[in-house]
Amino acid sequence: MFKDFVSCAVEGPAGTLHTLRGGRGAPLLLLHGHPQTHAMWHAVADELAQVFTVVLMDLRGYGDSARVAADAGHHAYSKRAMALDAIAVMRHHGFAQFQVLAHDRGARVAHRLAADHPDVVQRLMLLDIAPTLGMYANTSDAFARAYWHWFFLIQPSPLPEALIDSDPVRYIRSVMGKRHAGLAAFAPAALAEYERCARIPGTGLSICEDYRASATIDLDHDRADVAAGMKLLQPLRVLWAQHGAVGQCFDVMRLWRERANHVTGESVPCGHYIAEEAPALVLAQALEFFNN
């Protein structure tokens, strides 16, 4: 995977961040989701690099990036802090402005990045999320059952992380394998990478802190934006999975129109892991959207 990309360690605000860079053209940052790494982009990165300078990074706490120490207020894994990692990575690679393609947890980082730094993010495409505040505020029984991990991972330390760390591979396979396409959606090399990184000490704690932040400090930041009448100014494209809980449980476009001024999007015929289940679709959408 990523044979034409160059690996680079970048010193971020709170530790080392693992990145890869390839291609040429306008800069495009790719951010992965839970419980994955940059490897989730393996089916689209090479093609995107024919048009863009593609930068991939492992979010703090994931992949080969630093496991940052937890704090009582979950500030270290707030999406505001993680957005600053993304800026540090792109500045290291020489880019003051860039576009963003992001999935799942990475898409939540991208949302905060675009909100806090409208002069930096030019456009963003988000895969299979609705705004965090809207999802928590509109949680239903069906959503809680489908996204049980949202409520398991935010429980007080140390129980959730201890259970993950007791068998990280089982956690990866259980969470990812029980969605629409099962484990067949993942290339063996990519799945092996997710499992390797899940075994790195501190991963369980980092995953839990990411979700604890989303249920606490991230909601505070989102509520402040709503109270101030702030909306995303950049063009936003959202894609959600026809066979995923986000589209089935929420009015995705309505929730995004409440938080952004210029939104387009649609449901796509696959499950949650859109970039791995439907890479040709993601490529077509990305090339059309980011080249406008």
Tell me, what's the pLDDT at 104? 98
The pLDDT of residue 51 is: 97
Query: Tell me, what's the pLDDT at 292?
Result: 78
**Torsions phi, psi for 142 (to 5 deg):** -65, -40
| pLDDT recorded at residue 145 | 95
Task: Reply yes or no on whether the pLDDT at 258 is more than 90.
Answer: yes
**Mean pLDDT to the nearest integer, 229-248:** 98
The pLDDT of 129-133, averaged and rounded, is 98
Q: Of residues 18, 38, 85, 104, which has the active-site annotation?
A: 104
- What's 6-290's CATH class? alpha beta
**pLDDT category of residue 77 using cuts at 50, 70 and 90:** very high
Residue at token pair 């476009």: 253
Give the model's pLDDT for residue 43.
Answer: 98
Residue % of the chain over a pLDDT of 70:
100
pTM of the model: 0.98
C-alpha torsion angle, residues 126, 131, 132, 136 (rounded to 10): -140
Task: Give the pLDDT mean for 85-90.
Answer: 98
Partnered with residue 209 across adjacent β-strands are none
- Using the predicted structure, report yes or no on whether residue 6 has a pLDDT greater than 90: yes
Grouping H, G, I as helix, E, B as strand and the rest as coil, residue 69 is coil
- Please report the pLDDT score of residue 109 as a whole number: 98
pLDDT averaged over the chain? 98
Q: Is 116 a catalytic residue?
A: no
Annotated active-site residue 18? The verdict is: no
If DSSP codes are grouped into helix, strand and coil, which group holds residue 263?
strand
Q: List pLDDT tens digits, range 99-116.
A: 999 999 999 999 999 999
pLDDT tens-place string over residues 177-207: 999 999 999 999 999 999 999 999 999 999 9
pLDDT attached to residue 3? 92
Q: What is the C-alpha to C-alpha distance for residues 112 and 78, in angstroms, rounded to an integer?
A: 9
Confidence of residue 215 (pLDDT cuts 50, 70, 90): very high
Q: Which of 79, 71, 112, 106 is nearest to 205 (CA)?
A: 71
Contacts 24+ apart (CB under 8 A), 81-84: 81/13, 81/14, 82/109, 82/112, 83/109, 83/110, 83/112, 83/113, 83/116, 83/117, 84/12, 84/13
